């Protein structure tokens, strides 16, 4: 039983990370109806840019390597590059494709993900880099003592960070002017335009926010497994999460992430040995697929009505 809980908690915590990446998808899909396959590449780009700045900044500015100042400066610079990337994407890729079928936009973002991967590695190199956020990967002692369950403190930190991020986003969407405008745009582009909401700025902001989410996700994933090309595959993990939660729902991304994370780990541990292991690669997809057949719009998705 104790082992079961350990696996479950581990799965839930990794699910939080999937949810973080899925969140970036949801934000963009909600506001512009674009299914951004390049989100994984953006996570990679963000993490790589952050680490890259961490490396070069001490040389440029004379700041102490690994210090707080360098950390925050690198963070700001990485965030700025993500916002620039987002705005450029919107201008160069999406604007000319307005009014095209969603599938075309989707294929364009597949192209975008190749482009972003290539640029990221072209600038910063392809080597695997470590990223130290200053949190140790040791078991949480109180849980260890009381219930004898092994939970890494780093995972707990990641979960808390993700939770805070989601809370901030929720508040931002609910209570700020921009948040309200974003929700209006998400509901209906044309109606939002007609009451004077500047669609261009809104899209730029959305891509900026998605870039911010990608940066946070990339930093946490990168600190966990090193900053490397495999980060782009986080997009592939986020897809079943989205399917499960619905493309347009922030809570859906969170709940979907938790379900996928937990069920994937449990399946790997309990079902995997029976069939030869390694089922983590496809289990989330099959789960999402089975779920789709029952409820095509996902857990929290909007029901779609077709008209001729």
Partner 1 sequence: MLYREAGQFKTTYEADQQIFPIAQDRIGIALLIGVFALVVPLIADEYWLKAIITPVLIFSLAAIGLNILTGYAGQLSLGSAAFMAVGAFGAYNVILRIDGMPFILALILGGVCAAIVGILFGLPSLRIKGFYLAVATLAAQFFIVWVLVKVEWFSNYSSSGVITAQAIEIFGYTFESPESKYLLTLAIVVVMALLAKNMVRSTTGRMWMAVRDMDVAAEVIGIRLMRTKLLAFAVSSFYCGVAGALYAYAYIGTVEPEGFNLDLSFKILFMIIIGGVGSIMGSFLGAAFIVLLPIFLDNFVPVVLGDLVSASFVSNLQLIVFGGLIIFFLIVEPHGLARLWQIGKEKLRLWPFPH
Where in 244-263 is the site for partner 1 (CB under 8 A)?
247
CB of 108 to partner 1, least distance (A): 5
Pick from 48, 29, 154: nearest CA to 94: 29
Tokens standing for 33? 């109806």
Check residue 96 for interaction with partner 1 (CB under 8 A).
Answer: yes
8 A C-beta contact, residue 247 and residue 296: no
C-alpha distance from residue 181 to each of 23, 54, 184, 200 (Å): 19, 35, 5, 12
Tokens standing for 271? 């079902």
Residue labelled with tokens 């450029």 = 88
Residue labelled with tokens 């392809």 = 126
8 A C-beta contact, residue 208 and residue 42: no
Complex with partner 1: residue 145 or 306, whichever CB lies closer: 306
Check residue 103 for interaction with partner 1 (CB under 8 A).
Answer: yes
DSSP string, 183-198: HHHHH-HHHHHHTT--
CB of 194 to partner 1, least distance (A): 27
6, 90, 117, 268: residue in contact with partner 1 (rule CB under 8 A): 117
Where in 171-230 is the site for partner 1 (CB under 8 A)?
none
8 A C-beta contact, residue 37 and residue 113: yes
Pick from 279, 153, 196, 202: nearest CA to 33: 202
Check residue 308 for interaction with partner 1 (CB under 8 A).
Answer: yes
Complex with partner 1: residue 42 or 216, whichever CB lies closer: 42
2, 61, 68, 100: residue in contact with partner 1 (rule CB under 8 A): 100
73, 121, 179, 199: residue in contact with partner 1 (rule CB under 8 A): 121
CB of 46 to partner 1, least distance (A): 17
- The residues near 186 (Cβ < 8 Å, ≥ 6 apart) are 30, 31, 248
Binding footprint of partner 1, residue count (CB under 8 A): 49
Complex with partner 1: residue 23 or 181, whichever CB lies closer: 23
Complex with partner 1: residue 79 or 239, whichever CB lies closer: 239
CB of 47 to partner 1, least distance (A): 17
61, 72, 84, 102: residue in contact with partner 1 (rule CB under 8 A): 102
Where in 11-40 is the site for partner 1 (CB under 8 A)?
35
Where in 261-290 is the site for partner 1 (CB under 8 A)?
275-279, 281-282, 285-286, 288-289
Alpha carbon distance 206, 203 (integer Å): 5
63, 73, 87, 97: residue in contact with partner 1 (rule CB under 8 A): 97
Phi and psi for 295 in degrees, rounded to 5?
-140, 90
8 A C-beta contact, residue 31 and residue 203: yes
79, 116, 131, 206: residue in contact with partner 1 (rule CB under 8 A): 116
Complex with partner 1: residue 2 or 100, whichever CB lies closer: 100
How many CB atoms lie under 10 A from the CB of residue 306? 4
CB of 21 to partner 1, least distance (A): 15
8 A C-beta contact, residue 247 and residue 29: yes
Q: Which residues bind partner 1 (CB under 8 A)?
A: 35, 92-93, 96-97, 100, 102-104, 106-108, 110-119, 121-122, 125-126, 236, 239-240, 242-243, 247, 275-279, 281-282, 285-286, 288-289, 292-293, 296, 306-308
């Amino acid at each position: 039983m104790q082992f079961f809980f350990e696996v479950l908690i581990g799965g839930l915590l990794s699910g939080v990370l999937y949810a973080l990446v899925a969140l970036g998808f949801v934000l963009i899909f909600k506001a512009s109806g674009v299914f951004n396959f390049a989100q994984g590449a953006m996570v990679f780009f963000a993490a790589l840019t952050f680490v890259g700045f961490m490396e070069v900044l001490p040389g440029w500015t004379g700041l102490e390597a690994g210090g707080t100042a360098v950390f925050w400066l690198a963070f700001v610079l990485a965030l700025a590059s993500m916002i620039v990337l987002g705005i450029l994407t919107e201008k160069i890729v999406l604007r000319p494709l307005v009014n095209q079928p969603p599938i075309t936009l989707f294929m364009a973002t597949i192209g975008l993900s190749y482009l972003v991967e290539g640029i990221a590695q072209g600038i910063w190199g392809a080597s695997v880099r470590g990223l130290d956020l200053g949190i140790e990967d040791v078991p949480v002692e109180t849980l260890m003592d009381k219930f004898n369950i092994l939970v890494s403190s780093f995972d707990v930190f990641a979960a808390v960070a993700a939770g805070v991020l989601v809370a901030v986003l929720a508040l931002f969407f609910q209570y700020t002017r921009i948040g309200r405008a974003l929700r209006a745009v998400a509901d209906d582009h044309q109606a939002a335009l007609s009451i004077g909401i500047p669609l261009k700025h809104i899209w730029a902001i959305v891509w900026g926010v998605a870039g911010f989410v990608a940066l946070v996700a990339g930093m946490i994933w990168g600190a966990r497994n090193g900053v490397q090309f495999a980060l782009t595959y986080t997009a592939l993990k986020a897809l079943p999460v989205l399917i499960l939660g619905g493309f347009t729902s922030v809570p859906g991304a969170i709940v979907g992430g938790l379900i996928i994370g937990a069920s994937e780990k449990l399946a790997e541990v309990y079902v995997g040995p029976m069939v030869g292991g390694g089922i983590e690669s496809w289990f989330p997809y099959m789960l999402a697929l089975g779920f789709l057949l029952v409820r095509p719009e996902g857990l929290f998705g909007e029901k779609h009505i077709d008209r001729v």
